[in-house]
Amino acid sequence: MRYLLDTCILSQFMRGNPGVLKQLKNTPPEWIAVSTVTCMEVEYGLRLNPQRAAKLRPVIEPLLDAVHILPYSREDADATAAIRAILKQSGMPIGPYDMMLAGCAKHRGLVFVTDNTEEFRRVDGLLLENWVSR
């Protein structure tokens, strides 16, 4: 595995963003991971709008079936706690799920793929890429 995808990247995938589609097409599925935290966020979004879910579930499920799904581990939680403490002390917190995803990526040495690089730059040592086309 090399990459951990943020929830916003999966959203852009479902919207057909050309940059995200190109990167996913050119990246072997075994290099890509999605956290169970992101799976929860995607599922929550789908459950909020059943009509939209009927259209999007057939798009997202094959991707989730093709990549690694990473359970959020105790070691991920420890890395998240360290990130949370540092960001709180510096007065630059980020959202709780974002911290969990950053902790997972950092602990596992994965590049975190997000369209929210401004927020995640606050996490020292987190490797970032943005695959979204503008």
Residue 74 sits in a domain of what CATH number?
A: 3.40.50.1010
Q: Inter-axis angle of helices 7-15 and 50-66, to 10 degrees?
A: 110
Q: State the pLDDT at residue 1.
A: 87
Please check whether residue 134 lies inside any domain of the structure: no
Neighbours of 5 (CB within 10 A): 27
* Residues 77, 74: Cα–Cα separation, whole Å: 5
Please check whether residue 16 lies inside any domain of the structure: yes
Range of the domain at 109: 3-129
Find where tokens 């190109």 sit. Answer: 22
Please check whether residue 123 lies inside any domain of the structure: yes
Q: Predicted confidence band at 17 (pLDDT cuts at 50, 70, 90)?
A: very high
Asked whether the beta carbons of 113 and 3 are under 8 A apart, the reply is yes
| pLDDT tens sequence across 62-93 | 999 999 999 999 999 999 999 999 999 999 99
Q: Predicted confidence band at 111 (pLDDT cuts at 50, 70, 90)?
A: very high
Mean pLDDT across the chain: 97
For residue 29, what is the enclosing H or E element? none
